[in-house]
Amino acid sequence: MSMSTSLRALLLEQIEKHHRKRIDIYELLQNAPGETNYQEIATVITDLLAEKLLEPVKSKGFNNKKPPLPHQLRINKTALQESFFDALNRFKLQLHPAIDLSAYYRLGAQAFEKDRHQIVTLNKYLLKQDSLLIEASLPERSYEIFGDEKYLEEKKGLELLQRLGITAEDLSLQQNPDPVMFALHKELYQEEKKEHCHLIVENKTAFHILLPYIQAQSFFTTLIYGQGKAIIATLRNFKVQACFSKETSHSFYYYGDIDREGLSIFYSLHQRYKLQPCLPFYKSLLTKRARKGKEYQRLKEEALANLETLFPADMAEKIKNILQSGTYLPQEALSTEETERIWREESWIQDYKT
């Protein structure tokens, strides 16, 4: 980074932190690095004036130095934001596709500048990887990427990864996931079956609606609470935790929100565990009116492109239209009564047995 680029970044940071609409020139001169001369500062401020990021308050006059600068400057907050968005868009072009900068459109320039160095470091690491990463512990991977084994765990590094949309799976981190929360159908569990079927529901509300009636159906051995995206990691130890024999096979079904995150969770589970959608719930949910919102959620384009491999064609088309129109359908769009009825109804269970 050149001296002028570094000085520009420092001055912009000071201007963006300034809470008032106007700033005195002496504040900028006073807070510049000690080795900076007037000519260097004047060059940067003249550029900012030309770009309309700053405007002179003409009534306050100009100083007597060469070149003269306004005694007071008006900060163009809108132009500053647009300039930051443009810079962010250009920066994105250099990044590995797994890195998502969407959060910084909301968090702003100061947050981005604070994280920039670590983002660049992470990007260099990801771009160098030409194959799947071998699993490593959190401290090992932290040292490998950032040269600091404590950065990810103790220095808010995990928060940075979350802001960037980088998952533990993206970095092949060894984890000790939380235990799965599930309920058992006692009789089905005790049967000597070759295959057990399990229903995973994304949200706590749906889990508690279905829980009292788990014994009223005769298809699913367990009802599993997904806890949002947590289930991607926790399901790995489910068979051991539930004490199933190694010879038993398992089929997992999933029911979650019809939104970008819900589809991404389901697609990740499908890739890893070959889950199927629990179609009767989704079919009923799709009869409801989608509501506007959750456009901020990140969607795996791969999941959208493979919708027809996950759902029947007519359902896939409806889901695609919902997601692309910036709308969503939460599980709660189905009433308690509707959810209970589908859970207890035997006719749709037969569809999976045939």
* Rounded Cα gap, residues 45 and 48, in angstroms: 5
Q: Are 18 and 118 in contact (CB under 8 A)?
A: no
pLDDT digits (tens, 9 = 90+) for 5-14: 577 878 877 7
Mean pLDDT of 286-294: 90
Q: How many structural domains is the chain composed of?
A: 3
Residue 87 binned pLDDT confidence (cut-offs 50, 70, 90): confident
Check if the beta carbon of residue 210 is closer than 8 Å to that of residue 280: no
Tell me how far apart the alpha carbons of residues 171 and 154 are, in angstroms, rounded to a whole number. 17
- Provide the pLDDT for residue 185: 93
For residue 333, is pLDDT > 90? yes
Mean pLDDT of 231-258: 89
In this structure, is the dihedral angle defined by the CA atoms of residues 166, 172, 175 and 181, taken in order, positive or negative? positive
How far apart CA 221 and CA 199 sit, in angstroms, is 8
Considering the domain architecture, whether residues 228 and 315 belong to the same structural domain is answered as yes
Q: What is the mean pLDDT of the chain?
A: 86
Does residue 193 lie within any of the structural domains?
yes
Read off the DSSP letter of residue 258: B
pLDDT of the residue at 346: 58
Inter-residue contact 293 to 328 (CB < 8 Å): yes
Give the pLDDT of residue 53: 86
Look at residue 248 and tell me whether its pLDDT is greater than 50: yes
Inter-residue contact 321 to 188 (CB < 8 Å): no
What number is the average pLDDT over the span 274-291? 93
Type of residue found at 187 = E
Phi, psi at 248, each rounded to 5° = -80, 135
Tokens 């002179």 label which residue? 56
Residue 347 pLDDT: 61
CATH number of 339's domain: 3.40.1360.10
Give CA–CA dist 138/104, Å, rounded: 25
Both 191 and 123 in one domain: the answer is no
- What is the pLDDT at residue 1? 43
The reply to whether 140 and 219 lie within a common domain is: no
15: its two tokens: 């201007």
Task: State the amino acid at position 99 in one-letter form.
Answer: I
SS3 333: helix
Instruction: Report the CATH number at residue 62.
Output: 1.10.10
pLDDT digits (tens, 9 = 90+) for 90-100: 999 999 988 99
Task: State mean pLDDT over 59-75.
Answer: 90
Q: Do 139 and 250 sit in the same domain of this protein?
A: no
- pLDDT grade for 354, boundaries at 50, 70 and 90: very low
**300 in Cβ contact with 267 (< 8 Å):** yes
Mean pLDDT in residue range 324-350: 85
154, 231: one domain? no
Selected residue with higher pLDDT from 228 and 255: 255
Half-sphere exposure of 121 toward its Cβ, with a 13 Å CA cutoff? 16
> 184 falls in which pLDDT band (50, 70, 90)?
very high
pLDDT in tens, 117-163: 999 999 999 988 755 577 777 888 899 999 998 898 877 898 999 99
Query: Distance of CA 77 to CAs 104, 138, 202, Å?
Result: 16, 40, 41
Q: Which pLDDT band holds residue 349 (cuts at 50, 70, 90)?
A: low
My answer on whether 233 and 339 are in the same domain is yes
Please check whether residue 57 lies inside any domain of the structure: yes
Residue numbers of the domain that contains 89: 82-163
CB 179 within 8 A of CB 243: no
Ranking 41-45, 81-85, 95-99, 158-162 by mean pLDDT, the lowest is 81-85
Mean pLDDT, rounded, for 287-297: 85
State whether 190 and 278 are in the same domain.
yes
DSSP state for residue 69 in the 8-state scheme: -
Per-residue exposure over 196-228, b if at least 16 CB sit within 10 Å of its own CB, e if not: bbbbbbbbeebbebbeeebeebebbbbbbbbbe
Q: In sequence order, which residues have a C-beta less than 8 Å from that of residue 314 and are 6 or more positions away?
A: none
